[in-house]
Structure 1
């Protein structure tokens, strides 16, 4: 008799549902946060613990395996141009949706609960004082201390160092083989650690969701329901039309990609964190036919330059707040909004509350009261869950698209992904 085993996606879904129920039943009870927050925090910390070693080891292996600076530079340019185009589409869809449906018109601010955004204001000031123009982003790519960059989770600096190190290993030939063997062992060990940590995902999801619902309550959605529905519909439209169109153009399917990543998307949705699934999506994109060097370069870079879901949400939220205050943005203001979002959303993925920090900068640029952010803070977690999923889909697809454009996508692996996974599972 075959032993029944509940898949990870089902386990996470059960954890999510139970978390909502517990949070709703014990709404306002501080004991939920007291006892469950540590469980969620420990799970998130375990995930963050493994991200940097995996990125460094896989990127060094990938770059050293390719060993061609010219090819790597070509891939880098293609990737950044692709990211900018897709991000621009996301912003335009967000603005068009907000202009057409006007979610902020008629919202009575007296019936809304205001959240405390002081911490985001302070973070925004810190980012502004540190400089966040294009030149500043380039400067921060080059780390003065790689250990410090690793501790701070500075993704761009880590990528820069790993690429250079990988090229150095390739350049020294035979002497570099022991180094490659070491990092190959590190990568394999870290993926084993990842799969072990994922067994705790349902518990982490349960704790995080229960704390969120018990703090804000389901009723916080009601006054801002129109905004929440519009954000979710716009996200679905973007994934199906824009990402789906790009996938079809490349002979791929965004729906197949979603099937491949179903476990990771559910986890990303539940935790509102792209980091929780970074190691797993890199592993799966390799199994889906994208070469290691492309996956290990494109996906981590996308975490700073290709936040499609975040920029789409930010454009809708900016216009929502303007409409709520009765501010009519001209065409020039909306173009300024697009350009500002394109610049401010780059390179600060590691900043806490990044979407709110970007929104603060954006609202200031087009003279929209930043205080309006306080009104949507209560449902930000619900919206964050959706934008995280879109970010993950966008970056995963980008690795396959780049592999296709470089004529290096293993179509056999892509077409037979599920059969290969079933065969692998049967041997365990």
Structure 2
């Protein structure tokens, strides 16, 4: 009898459906979180455990292969330039959707249940003093071990690039060190495949906790905003990303199909960290060189949050409309400029999009109390933001690879798990 194998994407979907069902059945029961939180925590901790070693090893091996600091500087400039252009387009799309569809118009304040946002306020006080200049200053770590411990991705990327360049510069003496990091990378990708087997259970727990706390009805009073957020995200992926894919002569849906498991997992967990290692691995199989993949993807987690910036612009207009505040073109341009600055360099902060909005709304005269009304469904909206962020960073890697004339589609091959490779050898 032939054994039926369920792919990871379908396993995650099953976990998602089971989590929603359990959460809906036990809505309002605090005991659900007590039982499910340890499962969710173990999965998220396992993911965070593997991210930093893979990023460090991948960047060092990739950069050492390039070996030219001028080429790395040129790559960094092109990457940041592309990120700035696309995130600006995302903000403009968010403002357009907010102005055309007016999601906050006609909403009565008593329809909405307030949610406590004090958990974000303390973080926001730190973020408000965070400037664009600070982002670039903080790229250089004072202590690399401290940066590794805190998961400060920009500082880790900076150090790894410099270290990789140093290995290339010392020639033969650097080969043992390079071999060591190649071994670290290969070993960590094997560990990743094992950790990913926990994904359906982690998704089940995370979704179960969310639904049991807020209930399925959490979408009803704010359904218009939720539908518009998802609609604008879909528009951005199909139209904006579609145009970019057309320009660089690739099929967007082939890229999405390649990453379907990772997109589903990122969407379910509302965390891009969960899929970073496998995305890098798959993009290399798609034809992107390791040096570019290992640089663009981690940097994109700070500078290229397309879904998040689109949402922030849309949510800001929603709150203004909810309070009956008419925003002029000048005020909306100001909002766009502020978002361009505040959305950079704080990707590691929990609830990033929410925190950025708290830090931004006051600057353009919108009451921050309005965020309390959408905090309850922020998790559901965050799932869409995360998926778009992932697709955006993956596409950016292909764009930069093409821009550098290093994209090699003939290298495309399927990604196999360690178990599949073992079975293939047996056959």
Residue 189 of structure 2: aligned partner: 191
Structure 2 CA distance for aligned equivalents of residues 22 and 233 of structure 1:
27
Residue 163 of structure 2: aligned partner: 165
SS of aligned partner of 1:141: coil
Structure 2 CA distance for aligned equivalents of residues 377 and 244 of structure 1:
31
Q: CA deviation at 1:6?
A: 0.7
Distance 1:425 1:315, change over 3 A: farther
Q: CA deviation at 1:413?
A: 2.7
Q: CA deviation at 1:257?
A: 1.0
Structure 1 CA distance for aligned equivalents of residues 113 and 360 of structure 2:
23
1:176 and 2:174 aligned: yes
Q: Which runs of 5+ in 2 are unaligned?
A: none
Structure 1 CA distance for aligned equivalents of residues 423 and 293 of structure 2:
26
2:146 to 139, 145, 148: 148
2:424 to 421, 424, 427: 427
2:301 to 295, 300, 303: 303
Which ranges of 4 or more aligned residues in structure 1 deviate by more than 3 Å? 416-419, 423-426
Structure 1 CA distance for aligned equivalents of residues 200 and 373 of structure 2:
31
What is the 5 A alignment of 1:236-247? 236-247=234-245
Deviations 1:246-301 (A, max 9, x none): 01110112111110011001100110000000011001000101000000000000
2:134 to 122, 126, 136: 136
Structure 2 CA distance for aligned equivalents of residues 48 and 248 of structure 1:
35
Structure 2 CA distance for aligned equivalents of residues 243 and 216 of structure 1:
33
Residue 224 of structure 1: aligned partner: 222
Q: CA deviation at 1:3?
A: 2.2
What is the 5 A alignment of 1:77-116? 77-116=77-116
| TM-score, normalization by structure 1 | 0.97
What is the 5 A alignment of 1:288-299? 288-299=286-297
How many residues of Structure 1 are paired with residues of Structure 2 in the alignment?
424
Residue 47 of structure 2: aligned partner: 47
Structure 2 CA distance for aligned equivalents of residues 10 and 303 of structure 1:
26
Structure 1 CA distance for aligned equivalents of residues 145 and 109 of structure 2:
47
Residue 405 of structure 1: aligned partner: 403
1:313 and 2:315 aligned: no
What is the 5 A alignment of 1:324-339? 324-339=322-337
Residue 272 of structure 1: aligned partner: 270
| TM-score, normalization by structure 2 | 0.97
> What is the Cα-based RMSD across aligned positions, in Å?
1.6
1:357 and 2:355 aligned: yes
Structure 2 CA distance for aligned equivalents of residues 305 and 418 of structure 1:
28
Q: Which runs of 5+ in 1 are unaligned?
A: none
Residue 38 of structure 1: aligned partner: 38
Residue 61 of structure 1: aligned partner: 61
Deviations 1:205-257 (A, max 9, x none): 00000000000001011010000000000000000111111011101121111
Structure 1 CA distance for aligned equivalents of residues 127 and 310 of structure 2:
21
Structure 2 CA distance for aligned equivalents of residues 116 and 83 of structure 1:
33
